Structure 1
Amino acid sequence: MPLSSPAEREHIHTRNVTCTGYRRKDGLWDIEGHITDTKTYGFENNDRGEIPAGVPIHEMWLRITVGDDMVINGVEAVTDHAPFNACNEIAPNYEALVGLRIGPGLKQQIRERVGGIHGCTHLTELMGPVATTAFQTIFPIRAREAEERRKQQEKDVTASNPPKKRRSPLVNSCHGWRSDGAAVKRIAPDMYTGD
């Protein structure tokens, strides 16, 4: 269902964020983010001169490479458009994110490594949806493959040696995955805590 009808208004600014996840042939995962900010009007910029309507004031790219363990083992950042000439100088600093694990506490660790003058506000913000995209890319594939392995193990195991119960790292990660909710009862019943 879309939002309600808005009040009369004028379109001023558009931010587009696109994130895409890829599985590499070497078993790693590439997650790429792209962010652009455009205005509906042209304006003068001290470093770039006239920036026409629709031409990005910000355009940045970010690629992280992670393993199945969700640890970042590669980062590449590029700034194509920014309001200041110095903005593209900071992109190499994002290599400092190598070694971080996508999970709880990631935002704080990112701020510690590339916050403030050590990074770019927009590239740092882009890490949020990039991290979410990594999870959305990797988890379903790993879960499907784990289920396929489990089914194969069931075929291979005798009745006296039943397979282990599945565990889901998603339990209690959000309202939909709460341990006493319908989704957990259906998908991971061994972790269900409801009535």
Structure 2
Amino acid sequence: MSTDSVTREELHHRQVDLRFFRRSDALYEVEGRLIDTKTHPFRRMLAEKETPPGQHLHDITVRLVLDSGLLVHAADAVMPATPFSICPGAARTLAPLVGLSIGAGWNKRVRELLRGAASCTHIVELLGPMATTAIQGLAPQQAATIGDPGKDVQRRAWVDSCYAFAADREVAVRLMQLPKITKRGAP
């Protein structure tokens, strides 16, 4: 449905910013930041006075340190703006992520480890798109080696993983037609 014929009034603005970095220690870092603001004054739950428009309701940054295999080496969060003074304590709840690998089942495992009162809902929300950002961050180096020996399993894993990689579509067909290399440079 088009909104061309109606007026709209913004009430809430959520910004999610995701970035991937190569570090000088040969590791990588994925960072996710979530900021919530309102366009009108509002009273927070349990607050004694109104929050002015534009003031951050949430400002949460989560960082994961990863290796090229997407194994989590460190996880931390900072929470300079939260609705309750107790919320920043959730920044210390990420230790269970250390030692996990981003890949199939990541989101399910994160929700099992950090669900409910174990952590912050918004931290958990960020960890899903942070995982795909890390995968995209490493995609160029993975794509450059897709024809290398031992990559047949990886190529097959992509088939039927999304619309473009459907087994009967051009991308997957071409991917699976890459020569199986037995020696570097030899088809």
TM-score (norm 1): 0.80
User: Is 1:174 aligned to residue 173 of structure 2?
Assistant: no
Q: Compared with structure 1, are the counterparts of its residues 79 and 47 closer, same or farther at alpha carbon in structure 2 (3 Å cutoff)?
A: farther
Distance in 1 separating the partners of 2:150 and 2:94:
39
Q: Is the 8 A contact 1:48 1:83 kept in 2?
A: no
Give identity over the alignment, percent: 33
One-letter identity of the residue aligned with 2:28:
W
Per-residue Cα deviation, 1:100-123 (whole angstroms, up to 9, x for no partner): 111121112111211100100001
One-letter identity of the residue aligned with 1:35:
L
Q: What is aligned with 1:10? A: 9
Following superposition, the deviation at residue 166 of structure 1 comes to 4.6
Distance in 2 separating the partners of 1:34 and 1:57:
13
Q: What is aligned with 1:131? A: 131
> Aligned-residue CA RMSD in angstroms?
2.3
Unaligned runs of 5+ in 1: 151-163
Q: Compared with structure 1, are the counterparts of its residues 48 and 109 closer, same or farther at alpha carbon in structure 2 (3 Å cutoff)?
A: farther
One-letter identity of the residue aligned with 2:18:
C
Unaligned runs of 5+ in 2: 180-187
Q: Compared with structure 1, are the counterparts of its residues 78 and 183 closer, same or farther at alpha carbon in structure 2 (3 Å cutoff)?
A: same
Q: What is aligned with 2:73? A: 73
State the SS of the aligned residue for 2:63: strand
Per-residue Cα deviation, 1:57-116 (whole angstroms, up to 9, x for no partner): 011000111112111111011111111111001111112211111112111211121110
Q: What is aligned with 2:18? A: 19
Distance in 2 separating the partners of 1:182 and 1:15:
37
Q: Compared with structure 1, are the counterparts of its residues 112 and 166 closer, same or farther at alpha carbon in structure 2 (3 Å cutoff)?
A: closer
Distance in 2 separating the partners of 1:48 and 1:30:
39
Following superposition, the deviation at residue 48 of structure 1 comes to 7.9
